């Protein structure tokens, strides 16, 4: 029991989801001889739910995948595990399978009403009652702590990721240092977009902050529905949002952001009517997060100064020499 308690203490010392996951798998490895464990990440591809091993055991150590979910060659569709698919559809906590080579137990990890991952444990012999009790306890601690971590990373009003999580998520962008958007616009890369609600101060002034908050919530919902599961969406405060688009060509990034702009423009907000957003975006490479945000901000500023309700690309503006001298933020009210 002492090694288990030490591992549980180590689990709850982490403030990073991936490190927590590795610690949980290490704890589950203690439950039996010849035990194998995996953490399966769930993601959406072409409207279907897929899984891929994000961390797994190799002997007595835990390793993690070097791939992003969409590019992972080990990914597979959820229906390939029919027992797990049925368990998730019914909101279940665990399900098992007995085969000649071993016994497998799956435990979906829920955040609210959505299963976003699954713990998988396989061993040659059937799970004893004691093993199941210990595994269930570790699973509950893990899921509860995951929920606490997720809550600390979310904006209280919109439920989007908050600003303090941005640097960590940006650092996880695959291939940021080696990829260059100028080399081939058809090669999928990473993009950062800053989205700002036009004339939002007037909404608060005319209708009050309750209606302003409702606008922010509804815009956040549109952002969630229009971007993919591998993209990351943040509320940076006030009426400003940031989107990290992963594994997209320039054309795909532009199309996704234009779709967002037109969707917001067409939507009729209760009491408010119609609003618009301005968007600036840039390649997410060639500098620290603050530098990349600065480029996207310059594109956003250009959109604001040239009519609002438009999408502007920083690299396009640089190529056309359209940016000119940057105006200091204290000289004009940008937003």
Element holding 265 (H helix, E strand): helix 250-266
89-95 — which CB contacts under 8 Å span 24+ positions?
93/139, 94/136, 94/139
Q: Is 331 a catalytic residue?
A: no
* Distance (Å, whole) CA 297 – CA 316: 14
In sign, the C-alpha dihedral spanning 121, 27, 111, 230 is negative
Q: Which of 239, 240, 291, 333 is catalytic?
A: 239
**94, 96, 88, 83: which is closest to 140 by C-alpha?**
94
Q: How far is CA 241 from CA 155, 221, 256, 290, in A?
A: 11, 12, 15, 15
Q: How far is CA 304 from CA 97, 151, 278, in A?
A: 57, 33, 7
Quick check: 215 and 272 in contact, CB under 8 A? Answer: yes
Cα three-residue angle 172-319-262, rounded to 5 degrees: 65
Q: Token pair 């939002």 is at which residue?
A: 200
* Distance (Å, whole) CA 237 – CA 99: 52
Tell me how crowded residue 9 is: count the other CB atoms within 10 A of its CB.
10
**Cα torsion at 182, 184, 186, 192 (round to 10°)?**
-30
> Residues with catalytic annotation?
239
């Amino acid at each position: 029991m002492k090694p288990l308690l030490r591992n549980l203490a180590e689990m709850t010392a982490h403030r990073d989801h991936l490190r927590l996951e590795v610690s949980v798998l290490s704890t589950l490895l203690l439950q039996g001889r010849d035990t194998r464990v995996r953490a399966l990440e769930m993601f959406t591809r072409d409207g279907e739910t897929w899984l891929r091993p994000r961390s797994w055991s190799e002997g007595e150590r835990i390793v993690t995948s070097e791939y992003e979910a969409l590019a992972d060659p080990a990914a597979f569709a959820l229906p390939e595990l029919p027992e797990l698919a049925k368990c998730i559809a019914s909101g279940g906590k665990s399900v098992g399978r007995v085969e000649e080579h071993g016994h497998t137990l799956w435990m979906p990890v829920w955040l609210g009403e959505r299963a976003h991952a699954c713990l998988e444990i396989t061993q040659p012999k059937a799970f004893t009652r004691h093993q199941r009790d210990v595994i269930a306890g570790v699973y509950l601690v893990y899921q509860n702590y995951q929920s606490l971590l997720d809550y600390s990373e979310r904006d209280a009003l919109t439920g989007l990721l908050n600003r303090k999580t941005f640097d960590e998520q940006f650092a996880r962008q695959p291939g940021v240092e080696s990829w260059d958007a100028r080399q081939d616009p058809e090669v999928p890369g990473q993009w950062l977009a800053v989205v700002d609600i036009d004339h939002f101060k007037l909404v608060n002034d005319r209708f009050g902050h309750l209606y302003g908050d409702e606008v922010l919530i509804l815009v956040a919902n549109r952002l969630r529905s229009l971007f993919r599961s591998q993209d990351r969406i943040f509320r940076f405060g006030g009426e400003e949002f940031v989107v990290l688009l992963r594994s997209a060509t320039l054309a795909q990034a532009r199309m996704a952001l234009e779709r967002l702009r037109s969707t917001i423009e067409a939507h009729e907000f209760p009491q408010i009517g119609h609003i618009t957003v301005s968007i600036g975006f840039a390649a997410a490479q060639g500098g620290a997060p603050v530098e990349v945000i600065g480029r996207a901000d310059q594109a956003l500023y250009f959109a604001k100064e040239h009519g609002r309700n438009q999408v502007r690309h920083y690299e396009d503006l640089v190529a056309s020499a359209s940016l000119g001298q940057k105006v200091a933020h204290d000289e004009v009210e940008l937003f």
